[in-house]
Amino acid sequence: MSSRPAAGGGRWVEVDPHRLGRWVDGFAERHGPPVVTLEGYGLLLTAPDDATAELHAPPGAPVDGELAGFVAAAAAPRRIGLLLARKSAVAFGVAAGADLVVSKVDSSYVQGRTAAGGWSQHRFARRRDNQAKAALGDAVELAIRLLLPQANTLDAVVAGGDRRTVDGILADRRLAPLAALRAKRLLDVPEPRHAVLVAAVAAARAVHVLVRDPVPGSSRPL
């Protein structure tokens, strides 16, 4: 389980779906039995001391207004497509539950920046743009071969890495069935490698929880 500060206050906690039930029990023990409200992102837990926890449903998981059903759905196995991309590398995979059952990593050479100026700089920029376009085209073709045939079996597609590169890949009209399954979640990953793809399975399945503790002195009267 990882935690990071949230913009606007509170903290984001990433909870393994199989530990979500225990996390919710701990929240209730610390703050009192919460009121459960159905929201667009998932469920909102509001405790008697005004502490709140927004349970954001993991990609592909159905949501209803019942806390027990939410916990069970989060832990249920789902088939998730993974698309990780940086400018020089891409990784595609399919996860069945917590297991990565299909995977492919590919890298393309794209030159870095140079301090040279003048015509040399212009030639370099054109060459770099051509390399980037070729790499994007290769990534699209790989997605068509590897992920597109799986589209009808997937509950969601989770992307990670550089948003612009991911957007460029999924902008190809042939990949529309995958784009339609794309989750809002964008994984923060380094340059894609097989180990990064394996780790992305857990990150894609995690339940994101926004926790806001009560303001001192603001508790409701008993």
Q: Give the pLDDT score at 120.
A: 56
Question: Alpha-carbon distance 210 to 11, whole Å?
Answer: 6
pLDDT, averaged across the chain = 89
Please state the domain extents for the chain.
Answer: 2-58+206-212, 79-204
Angle between helix 67-75 and 20-31 (nearest 10): 150
Question: Alpha-carbon distance 13 to 172, whole Å?
Answer: 34
pLDDT band at 220 (very low <50, low <70, confident <90, very high): low
Q: Give the pLDDT score at 149.
A: 97
pTM for this predicted structure? 0.85
pLDDT band at 137 (very low <50, low <70, confident <90, very high): confident
Chain-centroid distance of CA 178 in Å reads 15
Question: CATH topology for 79-204?
Answer: Nucleotidyltransferase; domain 5 (3.30.420)
Interval 58-114: pLDDT, tens: 999 999 899 999 999 999 999 999 999 987 799 999 999 999 999 999 986 444 544
Interval 163-172: pLDDT, tens: 999 999 999 9
